Amino acid sequence: MGARGTAVLSPRALNRALLGRQLLLGRVDLGVAEATEHLFGLNAQDADLAYFALWNRLERFAVQDLTVAIERGVLVRSTMMRATQHLMSAADFRLVRPVLAPLLRRVQRNAFGGRTTGVDLGELVADAAELLDGNGILTRPELGRALARTRPGADAQALGWTVQYLLALVHPAPSGTWGKRGATPFAVFPGVPEAATADDVRELIRRYLAAFGPATVADARTWSGVSGLREIFEQLRPELRTYTDEAGRELFDLPDQEIPPLDLPAPVRLLAEFDATLLAHADRTRVMTEPIRRQVCQGAAVAATVLVDGTVAATWTKDRTGVLTVVPLRSISAADRAAIEAEALRLLEFAAPGAVHDVRFSG
């Protein structure tokens, strides 16, 4: 027990809690929209990442299931947590986007403030909304050039990126669907409040804990990129359960969420790059050791990883010829290698049905 009588959670306890909430202890029978809301968003920096995320978690999942949800606007892709591309339900986007507005303004200022000196950003956003209202959808380069026409000498690229951060935009299909890449299209998303209420921020924290808890204040800040969350956790304290980790840090959780048994088995999973399981906490030892983290997370890149017994054991890459290569980061038993190979073949068949597939271990 901790100093105040709270339970101390080991890294394995935190691991099993995270895997359970991220639907990685066993595939479940959910629809794509329900699953995406349960997970509180999917990383979508590359078009295919959200597809792999759902394939890892759902019993019955086909590419078309997610594509249709994006085409119908049930799920939307936009700049969200940590100022990176995510896929969320339309309802969650309306909740989350205003909470993230201060972060996105800060990112714009740091990245493009010098290149938009002298530009009235309020007018810029209003003009961009009017252009998009009249044209429906414009790519970021198209919108930047259109805005630059009435701002002689302005940096069109910086204008396009600035609008992406300052206006509640989404990137409509076919952008973000399986295999579709190219210039990012913009469309204004209706019904998004300009500013978040205190209730909005509290609800964001509850949803974060449901998907990733138990967690520290620093964990929530790392996941979201939002500062000033300690006060919000204090407001929520009366309704939350608290623990400590083995380093003595205070962890918060929803009172109705249980910690799974420590001996609960965790199946092999091949997570794609930037999977939220690896990015949702400041302290990532619940899923990987620090030496392994340094190999997986290099600069802005986060490798595709193999989970064995719930923790990162290897990275993986897939080439265009149907070869998936596994690079072990620690010792892997023969039985676990066989399980990895079987899961990798299933992933390859999902990605390219009927093609010739091969799984190789490097080292």
Spell out the per-residue pLDDT of the chain, length 363, in tens: 333 457 999 999 999 999 999 999 999 999 999 999 999 999 999 999 999 999 999 999 999 999 999 999 999 999 999 999 999 999 999 999 999 999 999 999 999 999 999 999 999 999 999 999 877 899 999 999 999 999 999 999 999 999 999 999 999 999 999 999 888 899 999 899 989 999 999 999 999 999 999 999 999 999 999 999 999 999 999 999 999 999 999 999 999 999 999 999 999 999 999 999 999 999 999 999 999 999 999 988 999 999 999 999 999 999 988 999 999 999 999 999 999 999 999 999 999 999 989 999 997
pLDDT at position 1 is 38
Cβ-contact 183, 140 below 8 angstroms: yes
pLDDT at position 82 is 95
pLDDT at position 63 is 97
Rounding to the nearest 10 degrees, give the CA dihedral for residues 138, 112, 208, 25: 70
In three-state secondary structure terms, 106 is helix
d(CA 39, CA 28) in angstroms, rounded, equals: 12
**Tokens describing residue 20:** 């359970």
> In 167-278, where does DSSP find H-type helix?
198-212, 217-224, 229-236
Cβ-contact 282, 216 below 8 angstroms: yes
pLDDT at position 134 is 76
**Tokens describing residue 40:** 């509180």
Query: Residue 251 phi/psi, 5° resolution?
Result: -115, 140
